[in-house]
Amino acid sequence: MSLPDFFVVHKREVLTLTGEHLWLVGVSMLLAVAIGVPLGILLSRRPALKSLVLGANNIMQTIPSLALFGLLLPVPWIGARADRLAILALTLYALLPVVRNTYTGIAGVDAPVREAAVAMGLTPRQLLWQVELPLASNVIVAGIRTATVITVGVATIAAAIGAGGLGEFIFRGLAMVDNNVILAGAIPAALMALCADFVLGLIQRSLVRRPVRTRD
Amino acid sequence: MNDSPAAAIEFVNVTYRISGNRTLISDLNLSVRRGETLMLLGRSGSGKTTTLKLINRLVSQSEGKVLVDGRSTTDWDVIQLRRHIGYAIQEAGLFPHYTVEENVALVPRLERWDAERVTARVREVLQLVGLPYDEYARRYPDQLSGGQRQRVGLARALAADPEILLMDEPFGALDPITRAELQHEFLELRKTLSKTIVFVTHDVAEALMLGDRIALIDSGKLKGIFAPGEFLRSPDESVQPYVNAFRATQQILNSGA
């Protein structure tokens, strides 16, 4: 069976697995952003925590994903269901780029800009929302973009613990030594990564407020 | 503010130390009169910028008191204190993601002025610093020249009509022609606005030209306060190097003519 035929015949399964994959990636990324951005902001306020948190995150990244899935199995509520476990592991992987870029983006705000804001009487909250986050937003989105692309790829491993997603095809294809089946998982996953990269890239560019130069 | 004390700002035995027990300001006593322009003159690292930052509590003294309108800065709500004091710095520190109008309108907006009053005020202060509203209000800082950015910085500092204005080498990064232009406009502006201004500079000529009085600061200590004329005549040995440098420049200029 040729690859296009495979897609036609297994249309329903391809869609289901793509849906599962999207769900795994989507939920993990929402969690990673919900945890990572505040954590990055915290690091910009307490630089003493920086090496600890970023270090822990770096170590997390060095654990092979398959091993991490296995290691999390005994965790009570999490280990009970494969998708919970997969989401936790994916969130942990996605965290580093989000935290690091949030921190870097905020730390990258020009010192005179920050000083002027403080001197003008902005409260710490106003400084964060009106100056630091808007100016850091494109760097933060760049981190989310990197994390999303990585997560789409790593999420294929989730099939190994029965969490579903496009990895199902890849593992099945490996077992069957059938390249078409592998590609049936790999191609939609690759397209998903490219789409996410493209869309987040558009958002990122729209955040760099570079007005058309009209200076004469 | 008729019932307010004569001194707009007063330093009483102020010492500022940073970790490692390095003393940046030691036992400073200084009084800034209401409505005057006081120049803080000193070399790099002399503590003049730190002195300025003690006024709006960007840094807090280790000992002593800083009084603004007769009230210790530690008794002020720090946000209120800062909104009560305009602040203009070198490189302007404009918010790059805000237009000129949004930059200037920031403090009035935070103070919850109504929209019409904010727009009217932005128009007024931009006019004051020589940037017609219709031409500049919608531009972003990176669409302005250095001199124009500095003007916007000044307009922003003046926006909420503060009685006190702190300026930290506001013209330091400008080319000589633009600087001279802005210095002259500053003098004009000062006549029309009755503000108390504390102005940090390392430039003797600027201090002599713009100040009602000059406070000379060296190694975190106040060496004296002089009217510009007194400064040039002062026999004080800490004043001498400045006067000599100033005279040397003049001599070179004169001999060349």
Half-sphere exposure of B81 (CA within 13 A, CB side): 23
How far is residue A100 CA from its own chain's centroid?
12
What pLDDT is attached to residue B1?
44
What pLDDT is attached to residue B238?
86
Contact B48, B35 (CB under 8 A): no
In this complex, the residue of B79, B95, B145 whose CB is nearest that of residue A123 is B79
How far is residue B114 CA from its own chain's centroid?
28
Q: Does A216 touch chain B (CB under 8 A)?
A: no
For chain B, helix (H) and strand (E) counts, in that order, are 10, 10
Q: Does A112 touch chain B (CB under 8 A)?
A: yes
pLDDT at A125 over 90: yes
Closest CA of chain B from A120, distance in Å = 6
| Amino acid letter, residue B27 | D
Interchain CB contacts (distance < 8 Å): A and B: 71
CA B95/CA A119 separation, integer angstroms: 13
Lowest mean pLDDT among A73-82, A84-93, A162-171: A73-82
Q: Does A139 touch chain B (CB under 8 A)?
A: no
Beta carbons within 8 Å of B3's beta carbon, 6+ residues apart: none
With cut-offs at 50, 70 and 90, classify the pLDDT of residue A209. low
Percent of chain A with pLDDT over 90: 56
Contact A202, A145 (CB under 8 A): no
Closest CA of chain A from B34, distance in Å = 21
DSSP A115-178: HHHHHTT--HHHIIIIIIHHHHHHHHHHHHHHHHHHHHHHGGGGGGGT--STHHHHHHHHHHT-
Nearest Cα to A53, choosing from A29, A26, A72, A35?
A: A35
CA A119/CA B56 separation, integer angstroms: 7
pLDDT at A146 over 80: yes
Stronger pLDDT, B64 or A211, i.e. the higher one: B64
CA B8/CA B132 separation, integer angstroms: 32
CA A95/CA A33 separation, integer angstroms: 7
Distances (CA, A) of A154 to A64, A72, A73, B71: 10, 16, 17, 61
Residue of B nearest to A111 (CA): B93
The kind and range of the H/E element at A3 are helix A3-9
Lowest mean pLDDT among A73-77, A101-105, B179-183: A73-77
Single pTM value for the model: 0.83
| Amino acid letter, residue B218 | D
Residue of A nearest to B99 (CA): A211
Question: Residue B237: helix, strand or coil by DSSP?
Answer: coil
Q: Which residues of B touch A123 (CB under 8 A)?
A: 79
Q: Which residues of A touch B153 (CB under 8 A)?
A: 116
Q: Does B109 touch chain A (CB under 8 A)?
A: no
Closest CA of chain A from B116, distance in Å = 21
pLDDT at A211 over 60: no
In this complex, the residue of A126, A135, A214 whose CB is nearest that of residue B110 is A126
Q: Does A138 touch chain B (CB under 8 A)?
A: no
Mean pLDDT of A2-23: 88
Contact A60, A95 (CB under 8 A): yes
The mean pLDDT of chain A is: 88
Contact yes or no for A116 and B142 at CB 8 A: no
CA B225/CA B181 separation, integer angstroms: 27
Distances (CA, A) of A161 to A82, A94, A156, B64, B128: 6, 19, 10, 66, 69
CA A215/CA B143 separation, integer angstroms: 5
Q: Does B183 touch chain A (CB under 8 A)?
A: no
Contact yes or no for A118 and B82 at CB 8 A: yes
**Percentages helix, strand, coil for chain B, rounded to the nearest 5?**
40, 25, 35
Residue of A nearest to B52 (CA): A119
Q: Does B221 touch chain A (CB under 8 A)?
A: no
Nearest Cα to B211, choosing from B34, B89, B38, B52?
A: B38
Q: Does B106 touch chain A (CB under 8 A)?
A: yes
Residue of A nearest to B166 (CA): A119
CA B60/CA B75 separation, integer angstroms: 12
| Amino acid letter, residue A102 | T
- Regions of chain B short of the pLDDT cut 70: 1-5, 256-257
The kind and range of the H/E element at B165 are strand B164-168
What pLDDT is attached to residue A163?
83
What pLDDT is attached to residue A212?
44
What pLDDT is attached to residue B95?
93
In this complex, the residue of A119, A209, A210 whose CB is nearest that of residue B82 is A119
Q: Label the pairing between strands B71-72 and B221-226.
A: unpaired
Closest CA of chain A from B156, distance in Å = 9
What pLDDT is attached to residue A17?
92
Report phi then psi at A191, rounded to 5. -60, -40
Q: Does A62 touch chain B (CB under 8 A)?
A: no
Q: Is the ipTM of this complex over 0.90?
A: no
Q: Does B91 touch chain A (CB under 8 A)?
A: yes
Q: Does B145 touch chain A (CB under 8 A)?
A: yes
Choose, out of A106, A115, A120, A206, the residue to mutate when testing the contact with B (most B CBs < 10 Å): A120
Q: Which residues of B touch A211 (CB under 8 A)?
A: 139-140, 142-143
In this complex, the residue of B93, B142, B145 whose CB is nearest that of residue A116 is B93
CA B51/CA B221 separation, integer angstroms: 10
In this complex, the residue of A115, A121, A122 whose CB is nearest that of residue B93 is A115
Alpha-carbon Rg for chain A in angstroms:
21
